Amino acid sequence: MKEASKIENKSDVFFVNLTTETVTPSVDSRKNKKKNYIYFGKDNLFPNYLIDLADNCSIHRALLETKSKFISGEGFTFEGEDSQVKAAEKFLESLDKDFLKKTATDKSYFNGFYWQSKFERGGNVAYLRNIDFSYVRSGKMNENGDIEKYYFTPDWAFATKKSTFKPEDAIYEPKPIASWYSSDRALAKKRGELMEGKTYSPGNLY
């Protein structure tokens, strides 16, 4: 009877906690007065955290890839006069073949993307390319609320901890890139201009 009692009292019901604490990126320029850029997350590595989530969960990654395909859709379509459409299609041929795919992937992972452009003397766009979203941080707003610069480095985990860079580490030093709103034409000429594509979110300055 004791053995039977033990079997009857043994529960085969398991409880799985599906709720976890989520941390939204903290954007605070006041705590980083020595930095020209805005931290994305408390450690400035929130994009890396999002990448790690995808790299360590095949289901999550598959969902992001599906989302990316929906964003890409059937590609670019142009409307307007025939001459305008032909010019746009010709320019599209000059872009990297994975331009749209990379843009859609960034939008899927980070809810945003960055396009870097350079202009010819006549004002036409010389080239346009997608910049890995995780490599970019926003500069600080000016008195008009505009962001005139962004900062680029391929390794923010390394760069965030540094205040000075040795010659051999110069590639990791955050480099400024002018925004489309920038009045710094010398910088725009040197490194091009960066356009940010983010979904509007009330209360988020950056």
Which pTM was predicted? Answer: 0.82
Into how many domains does the chain fold?
1
Q: Do the domain assignments include residue 15?
A: no
The reply to whether 194 falls in a domain is yes
Residue 145 in any domain: the answer is yes
Q: Of 163 and 20, which is predicted with more confidence?
A: 163
Query: Which strands, in side-by-side order, build the sheet including 193-198?
Result: 125-131, 112-119, 193-198, 175-179, 149-152, 136-138
Q: Is 8 within the bounds of a domain?
A: no
Answer with the residue of higher pLDDT: 200 or 102: 102
The reported pLDDT for the residue numbered 101 is 96
Range of the structural domain that residue 176 is part of? 36-198
Q: Which of 66, 73, 119 is nearest to 100 (CA)?
A: 73
Assess if residue 6 is contained within a domain. no
Summarize pLDDT for 77-98 with one digit per residue, the tens. 899 999 999 999 998 998 999 9
* 161: in domain: yes
**9 belongs to a structural domain:** no
State how beta strands 175-179 and 149-152 pair.
antiparallel
Render pLDDT for 112-130 as a digit per residue (tens, 0 to 9).
999 999 887 777 788 899 9
Quick one: DSSP state of residue 135? G
The pLDDT tens digits of the residues spanning 33-60 come to 789 999 998 899 999 999 999 999 999 9
| Residue 25 falls inside a structural domain | no
> Which residues touch 182 (CB under 8 Å, ≥6 apart)?
148, 149, 188, 193
Q: State the angle between helix axes of 99-110 and 46-55 in degrees (0 to 180), rounded to the nearest 10.
A: 100
